[in-house]
Amino acid sequence: MTAPTDDLYPRLWEAEMMENNLAKCAMLEELVRLADTRQDDEVGFEARMALVDAGTFSGAPDKALVAFSWCLAHADKHPDQYSEYNLLWKYKWVTDSLADFPQIKKKQIDDMLDDMRARYEKMGSGIYPVLMLRWKMAMRMGDKAGARKWHAQMAKTPRDFLSDCPACVKNQEVHYATFLGKDETALEIAEPILAGRMRCSEVPHITYGYLLVPLIRLKRLEEAAKMHQTGYRLAAKSTNLLRTIAEHILFLAMTDNLARGVKLFEKHLPWYLDSTDYLARFDFLCSCQFLMERLEKAETTSLKARLPKTFSLYQEKGRYDVAELAAWLGEQAAELGQRFDERNGTDHFVRRQKGMKKLHGLATPYPL
């Protein structure tokens, strides 16, 4: 006879009220364990669906993926018991993270996108959300031809009830323009977001990050500084936005606000160590490597920082050699970039890391 589960619902409601972070993920994982032990699929399903949200928006996409896979398989066995719309809406979040795991093969990604398309069409939705995901993944893999192909197909496809909100789509259009190196176009596209007419839970947070380096290239440093100050405040508490934090660190390094950059490195290194979003980890490593190189060019040989004991170069006295940090960050980025390139069949990530060196020529002091 299984144990009663009435006590689990109050704990589930309490967890659902928490801010999305790793503590919430841990609480929900414990509820999943208890529900499974007591053979309560209802609580297990609800706790896992909450875990999809928490993992997606706290930088733990692996937890979201595992939880969602169970929910999808369980709902397939009991199709009349669960909301198909809710499942298919979250399917976008989970699939969106697949390209961020170098260990997931391209065929696995394609198979999941094909499955998602079949489910959407069966429900009566269109394929706009699937095309958007393929477009986003092409950009993440550095595939410009693929990105242009899927973007062109999106433009000819009507939106539907499972499509992302207009602000999220507009934000991705901004990213697409920066991906193609069209800085002026990116700023033009971003205008309704920057004016406050379009927003969502992570927009304009992410948008500001996309535009920092383009603004430096365009020598619009005052605008970039304002975007950094506003954008960083928006992103500073969300562990899901490590990639955006990396863009702010890069901005500080390129404008020689190096002490501030070190503070952000110190503050967000624990996020990097905890994150399972490997693409975000790569971006963080590259930005921080660039920061250390700027410190070296400024003839700073060591820095004082409180770094976590789990950091492999941890020093009890808190004094770190800048060249050693730069070398470690570069090695970690190179190893991770190679894994992505092997999966993608390109040299995109290797070129991205090497291309960071060119940014030293664009660095322009702009004290905040």
The 10s digit of each residue's pLDDT in 41-86 is 999 999 999 999 999 999 999 999 999 999 999 999 999 999 999 9
Report residue 356: phi and psi, to 5°: -60, -30
Q: Mutual orientation of helices 348-355 and 322-344 as an angle, nearest 10°? A: 150
Residues of the chain with pLDDT under 70: 1-5
- CA dist., res. 309 & res. 215, Å (int): 37
Give start and end residues of each alpha helix (H) in the chain: 8-16, 22-37, 41-56, 61-77, 84-96, 106-123, 128-140, 144-155, 166-179, 183-194, 205-217, 221-235, 242-254, 258-274, 278-297, 322-344, 348-355
Q: What is the pLDDT of residue 6?
A: 76
Q: What is the pLDDT of residue 1?
A: 39
Q: What is the pLDDT of residue 357?
A: 95
**Spatial CA neighbour of 97 closest among 85, 86, 113, 84:** 113
Q: What is the pLDDT of residue 322?
A: 98
Angle at 344 between CA 340 and CA 346, to 5 degrees: 95
Q: What is the pLDDT of residue 66?
A: 97
Q: What is the pLDDT of residue 4?
A: 55
Q: What is the pLDDT of residue 307?
A: 98
- Residue owning tokens 């379009």: 198
Give start and end residues of each alpha helix (H) in 141-182: 144-155, 166-179
Domain ranges in the chain are: 1-82, 96-164, 165-233, 238-368
- CA dist., res. 242 & res. 248, Å (int): 10
As given in the structure block, the two tokens for residue 235 are 């992103």
Q: What is the pLDDT of residue 51?
A: 98
Report residue 3: phi and psi, to 5°: -70, 150
Query: Model-level pTM?
Result: 0.96
